[in-house]
């Protein structure tokens, strides 16, 4: 039973399109994250939600909009896709946040987005 699952795993689309990536965790964690991994394999935080509330919003274009309908789900919607958005996007979850973090991060398998 997958702990953190993302869909789709692969996404190929044209510039200018709008797309979404979905993430769900069945670990009962209260914090979820979106990370972007660029072509050099460098990971960077994009967003974090704790109990459906946005707590981290890094310098990310506002074409990226996260949505957390409940604490088990964190979706990422991207408008007007650009070539530079091509990357692997990882969802992750943890219990607690910051100084209250009690455990490790659990990652999804990643969603590889290719913008043509």
Partner 1 sequence: KNEVEQSPQNLTAQEGEFITINCSYSVGISALHWLQQHPGGGIVSLFMLSSGKKKHGRLIATINIQEKHSSLHITASHPRDSAVYICAVRLSSASKLTFGTGTRLQVTL
Chain positions contacting partner 1, by CB under 8 A = 40-45, 48, 55-56, 58, 88, 90, 92, 97-99, 101, 103-107, 109-110, 112
**Distance between CA 18 and CA 31 in Å, rounded?**
26
Smallest distance, partner 1 to C-beta of residue 78, A: 19
Nearer to partner 1, 42 or 83 (CB): 42
Smallest distance, partner 1 to C-beta of residue 43, A: 4
Nearer to partner 1, 97 or 115 (CB): 97
CA 101 to the chain's CA centroid: 19
Nearer to partner 1, 12 or 43 (CB): 43
Smallest distance, partner 1 to C-beta of residue 81, A: 21
**Distance between CA 2 and CA 25 in Å, rounded?**
8
Dump the DSSP string for 8-76: -SEEEE-TT--EEEEEEE-S--SEEEEEEE-TT--EEEEEEEETTEEEEE-S--TTEEEEEEETTEEEE
Nearer to partner 1, 67 or 107 (CB): 107
């Amino acid at each position: 039973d997958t702990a953190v699952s993302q869909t789709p795993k692969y996404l190929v689309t044209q510039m200018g399109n709008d797309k979404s990536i979905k993430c769900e965790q069945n670990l009962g964690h209260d914090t979820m994250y979106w990370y972007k991994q660029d072509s050099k394999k460098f990971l960077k935080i994009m967003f974090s939600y704790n109990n459906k509330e946005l707590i981290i919003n890094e310098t990310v274009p506002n074409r990226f909009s996260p949505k957390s309908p409940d604490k088990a789900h964190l979706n990422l919607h991207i408008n007007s896709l650009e070539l530079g958005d091509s990357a692997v996007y990882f969802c992750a979850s943890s219990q607690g946040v910051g100084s209250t973090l009690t455990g490790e991060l659990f990652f999804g398998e990643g969603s590889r987005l290719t913008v043509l």
